[in-house]
């Protein structure tokens, strides 16, 4: 009876050991479809505008009377708030133009690849990081501890392209960082500083 219990205990210990150590030796690779590459190099607004224009092209073959009225109305509205729309366009472009390159946190934790931020979407491209247990993606302000930043969710895989959503109420800005963080050991694995140029 004791041999049977010892055998069962040994199997349990070996199973637990494999579960704890295997992430260090196995890579998870995948590829999320990029929400930013659905329309080539266009940003989200341009892609939506193009889709909208394609769908409504049939409706543009209406009589000239309706077209003239709508053009007059458009001209009047355009002059009314052109300066505020220019400001909004600049703000939107700045918010959508953030990107960076991943670097490992130290000699034991390597990371590489690119990050692109568009509105509330964070896209990791050609991404690779040292595998580890309990890895998360965080948006962190400059000088802020990673654990105090905004969690974008559990890392989907340690290799390959993937995307994450920035939660409502949070936003990315130049100078902030996207950090790959091990929650279990409170250890950074890699980070990419966000800026407007690559």
- Axis-axis angle for helices 82-96, 64-80 (nearest 10): 80
The residues spanned by each domain of the chain are: 66-96, 97-198
What letter does residue 170 receive in the DSSP assignment?
-
Beta-strand runs (E) in 50-110:
98-101, 103-104
Least confident range from 47-61, 65-79, 121-135: namely: 47-61
Top-level class of domain 97-198? mainly beta
124-151 per-position pLDDT tens digit: 999 999 999 899 999 999 999 999 999 9
Residue 29: predicted pLDDT: 56
């Amino acid at each position: 009876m004791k041999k049977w219990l010892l055998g069962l205990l040994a199997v349990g210990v070996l199973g637990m050991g494999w579960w704890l150590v295997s992430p260090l030796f196995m890579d998870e690779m995948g590829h999320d479809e990029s929400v930013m590459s659905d329309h080539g190099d266009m940003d989200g607004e341009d892609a939506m505008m193009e889709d909208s224009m394609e769908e409504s092209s049939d409706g543009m073959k209406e009589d000239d009377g309706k077209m003239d009225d709508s053009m007059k109305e458009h001209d009047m509205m355009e002059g009314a708030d052109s300066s505020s729309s220019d400001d909004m366009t600049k703000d939107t472009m700045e918010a959508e133009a953030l990107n960076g390159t991943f670097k490992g946190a130290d000699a034991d934790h390597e990371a590489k690849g690119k990050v692109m931020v568009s509105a509330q979407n964070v896209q990791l491209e050609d991404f690779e990081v040292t595998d580890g247990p309990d890895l998360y993606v965080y948006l962190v302000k400059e000088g802020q501890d990673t654990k105090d930043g905004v969690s974008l969710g559990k890392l989907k895989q340690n290799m390959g392209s993937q995307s994450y959503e920035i939660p409502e109420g949070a936003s990315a800005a130049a100078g902030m960082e996207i950090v790959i963080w091990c929650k279990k050991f409170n250890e950074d694995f890699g980070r990419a500083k966000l800026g407007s140029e690559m």
